[in-house]
Structure 1
Amino acid sequence: MLRTIKDLFDSVLAPARNAPEREHSLQLATAVLLVEVMRADDGFSAGERDAVVDAMNRTYPMAPDELDRLLDLAHEHARSASDFHQFTSVLNDRLSTDEKIRIVEYMWRVAYADDHLGDHENHLMSRIAGLLNVTHGQYIAAKMRARD
């Protein structure tokens, strides 16, 4: 009987223990997608980096040094990732549709930050929005809000 009670307590407390790790994986997944949009064209500008920083601060406020470390890690993951599924699945599992649309809008802001929207950026945005299960109408509305 004591074993059963202990198992019950462990199952209740386990999500709380894993909360920081779950939050970090959500932050990293978001940062990787934003960084990937920034890296989509030939180079990235200070405006694009500022757009990534702004999006991350709006979504997951954190200390500047913590954000710098997260973005460094996001760059590493973006360079070594073979696809986006590992990142979009984290967001799909944990974010609402409205939150995912907001991430897509932030990605558009990054894409527009250098005043040039390349074909590769456009294709990348469409691909990621599809993986996030954002409808075409929601995708276009996010694009329009980001452009305005």
Structure 2
Amino acid sequence: MFKALRNLLADFGGDSQTRHFREDDHRLAAAALLYHVIAVDGSVDESERVRLHGLLKSLYALDDEETDELVRDAETADQEAVDLYRFTSLLKDRLELAERERVVAMMWDLVYRDGELHEFEDNAIWRVADLLGISNRDRIRLKQDVRSQAVKDA
């Protein structure tokens, strides 16, 4: 009930913490999943934040200020979420399979950013891919593609 009241007030401009990206915006859903995967191991380092910013800026053709807002909104959305279904169901409804695979590939890119794959990160991506309707075979293919690219870039 409080959430509904807060949203109503935000619609009338009464909330100074209004999110730039609405809860039904697929960009926020994707960004929240990406933020979740870098935070799930208990620490978000600067290289992960920088990479997240770059991926979102490029993917959605945003300027720096819009990207900063999206990252802030994504962090808040992830912290408020009780599960990942809220984000994955929106993406599954709005995005084609190739676009959903791109989100999973970006998740792999982010987890390899700090040089190691934590089991919580691996499990989070497995759950997200499953909820997005991506097969185990394709999830593993995306993982291997990103890992081989990360090795080349290192």
Q: Which TM-score bucket, shorter chain as reference?
A: 0.7 to 0.9
Tell me the CA shift for residue 146 of structure 1: 1.2
**Partner residue of 1:25?**
25
Structure 2: how far apart are the matches of 1:41 and 1:51? 16
Kindly tell me the number of residue pairs found equivalent between the two proteins: 128
Structure 1: how far apart are the matches of 2:92 and 2:48? 25
Structure 1: how far apart are the matches of 2:60 and 2:26? 9
**Partner residue of 1:119?**
119
Return the letter of the residue paired with 2:143: K
Structure that is richer in helix per residue: 1
TM norm structure 2: 0.78
**Partner residue of 2:95?**
95
Structure 1: how far apart are the matches of 2:110 and 2:40? 10
For residues 1-148 of structure 1, the aligned pairs below 5 Å read: 25-148=25-148
Return the letter of the residue paired with 2:77: H
Taking only the aligned residue pairs, the percentage that are identical comes to 31
Computed over aligned residues only, the root mean square deviation of the Cα atoms, in angstroms, reads 1.7
Return the letter of the residue paired with 2:30: T
Q: Which moved more, 1:102-111 or 1:44-53?
A: 44-53
Structure 2: how far apart are the matches of 1:101 and 1:58? 16
Return the letter of the residue paired with 1:47: S
Tell me the CA shift for residue 50 of structure 1: 2.1
Structure 1: how far apart are the matches of 2:105 and 2:39? 17
Moved over 6 A (4+): none
TM norm structure 1: 0.81
Structure 2: how far apart are the matches of 1:71 and 1:114? 18
Return the letter of the residue paired with 2:129: A
Contact 2:35 2:78 in 1 (8 A): yes
Tell me the CA shift for residue 54 of structure 1: 2.4
Structure 2: how far apart are the matches of 1:90 and 1:109? 22
In structure 1, runs of 5+ residues without a counterpart are 1-20
